[in-house]
Amino acid sequence: MACLASPDAEIIDGVAFEALSYWLRNEHLSQAIHIEMFNYLTRVLESKVADTSGVYQSFSILVLAEVVRVDRHSPFLSAEQRDYLVNVGTSFLTNVKDYRGFSTKTGWQHSIAHAADLMLQLALNPKVNKAQLDKILVALASQLTANDQHSYIQGESKRIDMAVIYVFLRAQYSADDFNLWLSKVVNPAPFNQWQDVYQSEQGLIKLHNTQSFLYALYATIKPSQNKVLTEMSTYLEQVIKATK
């Protein structure tokens, strides 16, 4: 796992992540190792580590998503550990300021996408409760527009929308809950209306990221025959029109 801090993209992604993901998904590691990985990775996310390349914490949260996937299939975390995980993960996502995706020099950073992958695994876990899911939705909403600082162009919106979808597919939520959440996250504030954004770089970033999220969300749920998703798509169509 220390290789996740390597400045070499081949070591981080091609060796460390690929090996850890393979071992975890194919049940090659013991529960004791799962817990050791959980403790190690959450400490990395909470620490102020020297991470000039922007990869150590980003890939740590991606591997943590793989560890959490194991907990979903074969629970090994306690309720307290799971709550701690939700707090650490949502705090990390909310506080991301490095929006780099891919570069030929350092490979993938992609902190937003990797954190969204952890949120997805938590959303899929039946042991994650309503209060924890609410925290996940708040964290996802906080980065929908990258604080109006950066235009998402490397699949971040798709990764966020998958986590959002699976939160709202949980029985704790209704289509009305989705409608209310969506109406809040697509608010044009601090602009009075969406038409006002065209004279501002910040506004155009906000519009681009909002539309990117909405279009990715719509493309995913529209073909579905799931009743909940069908109800969600009806309101989503109205919101998309409002942002044009």
Give how far the C-alpha of residue 18 lies from the chain's centroid of Cα atoms, to the nearest Å: 20
Q: Is the pLDDT of residue 51 over 80?
A: no
Cα dihedral 184, 190, 193, 198 sign: negative
| CA 144 – CA 12 distance, rounded (Å) | 27
**Cβ neighbours around 195 below 10 Å, total:** 12
**pLDDT tens per residue, range 23-42:** 999 999 999 999 999 999 99
Q: Is the pLDDT of residue 228 over 70?
A: yes
**pLDDT tens per residue, range 151-185:** 999 999 999 999 999 999 999 999 899 999 999 99
